[in-house]
Amino acid sequence: MHSAGKGSEPVVDVVDLAARLIACDSVTPAQGAVFDLLGAALVPLGFVVDRFVTGEAPDGPVENLLAVRGSGGRHVAFAGHVDVVAPGPGWASPPFAPEQRHGLLFGRGAVDMKGAVAAFVAAAERVPADAGTISLIITGDEEGPAVYGTRALIDRMAARGIAPDLCLVGEPTSQQRLGDMVKIGRRGSVNIWIDVPGRQGHVAYPHLADNPIPKLVAALGAIEAVTLDTGNAWFQPSNIEVTDITVGNPATNVIPGHAAARLSIRFNDEHRGDELVERITAIVHAHAPEARVEGRISGEAFLTQPGAFSALVSAAIERHTGLTPELSTTGGTSDARFLSRLCPTVEFGLLNATMHKVDEAVAVDDLRALVAIYADIALAGLATQPTR
């Protein structure tokens, strides 16, 4: 087993590993080569690597990787993904041909989040094998529907009796400088589809038709008037947004047969997704009793209360950057929404300024600093049992 201890040189070069991961075209859902490379990096460090593919179309199949080293003591998990969003046109250099320029490593996934995954591996090498249990929970479908990704990994862990004491998700949380922000929670997300049926007919004979548009507009007006909450100590106010209205009626003299809309709700920990779907359904049915309302919950809100875990993460960041990070719950959803069910979970990673953008890039110095921070977090987490 390779282990970077006193007097030994590390085997894993985080910049090289990040570049090789970037070179794998792994637009979501990722499969194959990127997992081959990651597994090959982990096995020499003593990890037992479990790769599996699960799920059916349209949201599958998805490949995932669960790597574990150790079987006793406390257990620290690093979690993330190796799938990326499509790169799009306009890159200065090919998105899957990593290139270093002016101290930056360019390529799709550099910060979201192949750089952090490479740092997980390099950090694990710095942790003595007898310090406790370390795992990597890596999905190929965080950027996609996320139905057969981290949720499937959690089921796999439960079947094998694997239960982390702590979990760090390597999403790019830093804003202006590496280490200025740690996410200790996220709002939940639910999308809701509304379809109001009517009865098609000629506009000159409205008594022979039933126009669904006024009913839908009335329902949306009532929804727009709702104030879910005013926020709380850790979360901004929940918000409901209309993201689509569709009638699809090309004729100027026809009353349409149906009208539809879609909502997106981002909600804090004062709500649950199923309760919000029920509330919206009741409002819609008050104006359109025959309407069909369907909700899809992407994830519930979660909060890891500030405590021992966030304190040790902050201490590691301050040791290597001089910054005291802000603890935040802002931003979109991540797979931490699932992992938080297992154990205290926080998110910390690279600068997010270029994620999902053309010419995504990570500072080479930040990659190396992130390895040191992750290693310190693992060592401290294995030595001290944090509480929620």
Q: Is 294 annotated as a binding residue?
A: no
Contact 179, 323 (CB under 8 A): yes
**pLDDT average per 10 residues of sequence, the chain (388 residues):** 50 96 97 98 98 95 97 95 97 98 98 98 96 97 94 97 97 98 97 98 98 98 98 97 97 98 97 98 98 95 96 98 97 92 97 98 98 98 69
Phi, psi dihedrals of residue 336, rounded to the nearest 5°: -60, -25
Q: Is 2 annotated as a binding residue?
A: no
Q: Is 81 annotated as a binding residue?
A: yes
**Which pLDDT belongs to residue 385?**
57
Q: Is 143 annotated as a binding residue?
A: yes
Summarize pLDDT for 128-146 with one digit per residue, the tens. Answer: 999 999 999 999 999 999 9
- Helix (H) or strand (E) holding 377, with range, is helix 364-383
The pair of structure tokens assigned to 335 is 């797979």
Contact 174, 323 (CB under 8 A): no
**Which pLDDT belongs to residue 384?**
76
**Which pLDDT belongs to residue 165?**
97
The pair of structure tokens assigned to 1 is 């087993």
The rounded distance, in Å, linking the Cα atoms of 256 and 297 is 30
Q: Which residues contact 136 (CB under 8 A, 6 or more apart)?
A: 42, 47, 65, 66, 67, 77, 78, 79, 80, 117, 120, 121, 124
> How many beta carbons lie within 10 A of that of residue 191, not counting itself?
17
pTM of this prediction? 0.90
Could you tell me the domains of the chain? Answer: 14-186+301-383 (3.40.630.10), 188-299 (3.30.70.360)
In terms of C-beta density within 10 A (0-12 exposed, 13-18 middle, 19 or more buried), how is residue 229 classed? middle
By annotation, the residues acting in catalysis are 83, 142
Contact 301, 232 (CB under 8 A): no
Q: Which residues contact 91 (CB under 8 A, 6 or more apart)?
A: 106, 358, 359
